[in-house]
Amino acid sequence: MAHLSRPFTCPNSRNPGRLSMSLVTVVGKKATSKKKVVRLRIINKMKTALSLAIIRAAEVKNGKLVLDESPPREHLIHQGWTYTIYPKLEVYRMPYTELVPSVLQALNNMHQKIELLENDWAKKSFVSSFSLRCILRAEL
């Protein structure tokens, strides 16, 4: 008798096992295929790769995709940001063992850049609010 495990749940998500992020996938006919079926499969493959990389913490070990029991990598997704993907036709034939690591690497790079941008914006906001307070106090 097979044992079915419960679906994986994300602790910070309203919908268990679902990824809460703003995602736009731009799949043009010239960059991929004229056939809508191919373009939809590319979109679904990208969504699945994102879900595997973040929610299931998938990694490639010895050429196979391994779903890790570690907590999800939700820290790589920033709320309030929209992620735009421009996939090429190569994604259609790419196996998940190649796609998931490249998606994970891209997410890590974006995460680092977003952290730098948000920290820079926070510093500028603090400096501008501090200088505004100093000006207001000087006028009083």
**Residue 128 DSSP SS3:** helix
Contacts of 119 by beta carbon, 8 Å cutoff, 6+ apart: none
pLDDT digits (tens, 9 = 90+) for 91-136: 999 999 999 999 999 999 999 999 998 888 888 776 666 565 555 5
Domain assignments of the chain as residue spans, ordered by start: 22-139
Is residue 49 within 8 A of residue 103, CB to CB? The reply is: yes
pLDDT at residue 77 greater than cutoff 90: no
In the DSSP assignment, the letter for residue 32 is S
- pLDDT band for 1, please (50, 70, 90 cuts): very low
* pLDDT beyond 90 at 71: no
Nearest to 30 by CA among 104, 87, 98: 87
Amino acid 7: pLDDT: 40
Angle between the N-to-C axes of helices 36-54 and 96-139, in degrees from 0 to 180, rounded to the nearest 10: 70
The pLDDT of residue 2:
40
**pTM recorded for the entire structure:** 0.73
Identify the pLDDT of residue 110.
92
pLDDT at 4: 36
SS3 state at 23: strand
Q: Give the C-alpha separation, 62 to 65, whole Å.
A: 8
pLDDT tens readout for residues 2-58: 433 334 445 455 666 667 888 899 999 998 999 999 999 999 999 999 988 888 888
What are phi and psi for residue 72, nearest 5 degrees?
-65, 160
Query: From its phi and psi, is residue 15 left (phi > 0), alpha (psi between -120 and 50) or beta?
Result: beta
